[in-house]
Chain A
Amino acid sequence: MKTSIIRNISLFISTFVFLQACNLPHHDPATLPIIGNRDVVDGDTIYHTVPDFAFVDQDSQLVTNETFAGKAYVVDFFFTSCPTICPKVTKQMLRIYNAFKDEDRLLLLAHTIDPKRDTVGHLKMYATNLGVESSKWHFVTGEKDDLYEIADDYFSIAIENPDVPGGFDHSGRIILVDPQRHVRSFCDGTDPESVDKFMKDIEVLLNEMKNNASPQ
């Protein structure tokens, strides 16, 4: 009799725990969340998307949203004379480049925020010194206000602490954008462990793209 009561209580607790677990909100590890502000218009959720842009890369080629059509891409902001943060971030970007060098569905996009000094020729030299392919990793320049404006747009959704004023150029953040122009992940580009997790997120996104299961 006593054994039966204990068994029934155990069964009840197990069933309760199982049901509770089913009700818990969870993140499907096969997909990444879409990060940023969202609006509901006529019942449809409208996610933040990266705006149109047009810059010039180290080969003097025009780089626009079309350059990344059907691809995911990794974004950062830097300038070649940066004495502190940028060299650390570029080192991590190089890790990402090497890890996904043969992955056609992923590109890298680095924006200078010092277009006066980081000319096309200067960016070419910088990319050559890193030993990277222009078709894989675009180093772009343009109008200073346009570069800062798109940085504000990317980072408005990636800044965890709204009390930190501006400062994207020293944030060292690296951002992952999907083919639908949604930001899907970001990390601290000065922290190798944060970049390790970010690279796993890239794999999740690539897998999601493969399965054509992008949450819209």
Chain B
Amino acid sequence: MRLPLRFPLFFFALILFSCQNKGPATTQTSLTDAQKAEQEARRQEIMDLHNAVMPQTAVVNRLSRQIKGFLQAESQAGREDENRQEALVEVIKRLNEADEAMYDWMGKFINNLDMLRESMDHQAVMNYLDGELVKIRDIDTLTQSSIERARAAMEKYGINQSEDK
């Protein structure tokens, strides 16, 4: 006898809860032109940096392949050196981390401002974009440092570098 009373109450509560959670905190129409321009400028800043760093991922992979090829050739020739092997494996690991960081970031980054505005007010959108700018700057640093470290190691161990095919 008590069940039939509980179900309507539950659905009523559910409807009320849904209505309270419906809709963004601030809609796109409430943004001023200046706010929209500020968001777009920050988004573009992120994309410009991304476009500058992205071509380097091809260099990262190429260096990694060259070192792997060297290690394989040395192994086949019976010229294994434990210290050198350890150092070069660490270099490859750093290159892979930089590469993975870029692709992981791209897989998660929301590039569509309209999508962000559906669920965030202006300040929240700016906070999100500022956070993403920090991330892509970190990826830039990681990428450049992994490339420099790889080049130094390749020079040290006499590994041929042919990056500009």
Contact = CB atoms under 8 A, between A and B. Distances in A.
Our verdict on whether A and B bind, yes or no, reads yes
Interface of A: 79, 81-85, 114, 116-117, 144-145, 148-149, 151-152, 155-156, 159, 162-170
A31 B111 CA distance: 43
Contacts of A163: 164
14 contacts: A81-B103, A81-B107, A114-B103, A116-B100, A148-B61, A148-B62, A164-B55, A164-B164, A165-B56, A165-B59, A165-B164, A166-B62, A167-B56, A168-B58
Contacts of A170: 51, 54-55
A85 to B, nearest CB: 8
Contacts of B51: 84-85, 170
B149 interface: no
Interface string B58-73: 1101101100100000
Contact of B58 (A81, A83, A162, A166): A166
Contacts of A165: 55-56, 59, 163-164
B57 to A, nearest CB: 6
Interface in B89-110: 100, 103, 106-107, 109
A129 B64 CA distance: 34
Contacts of A168: 58
Contact of A167 (B47, B54, B100, B111): B54
A165 B163 CA distance: 7
B165 interface: yes
A166 B163 contact: yes
A32 B163 CA distance: 29
B42 interface: no
Nearest to A87: B111
A196 B153 CA distance: 46
A169 B51 CA distance: 10
Contacts of B103: 79, 81, 114, 116-117
Residue among A117, A148, A166, A169 facing the most chain B CB atoms (10 A cut-off): A166
A165 B61 CA distance: 13
Given A148-B58, A148-B65, A155-B165, 16 more contacts: A79-B106, A82-B106, A83-B47, A114-B103, A117-B103, A152-B58, A162-B164, A164-B55, A165-B59, A165-B163, A166-B55, A166-B58, A166-B163, A166-B164, A167-B56, A169-B54
Nearest to B61: A148
B50 interface: yes
Residue among A117, A155, A162, A170 facing the most chain B CB atoms (10 A cut-off): A170
A145 B164 contact: no
Given A83-B111, A148-B65, A167 B55 contact: yes
Contacts of A83: 47, 50, 106, 109, 111
A166 B56 contact: yes
B18 to A, nearest CB: 29
B163 A169 contact: no
Contacts of A164: 55, 164
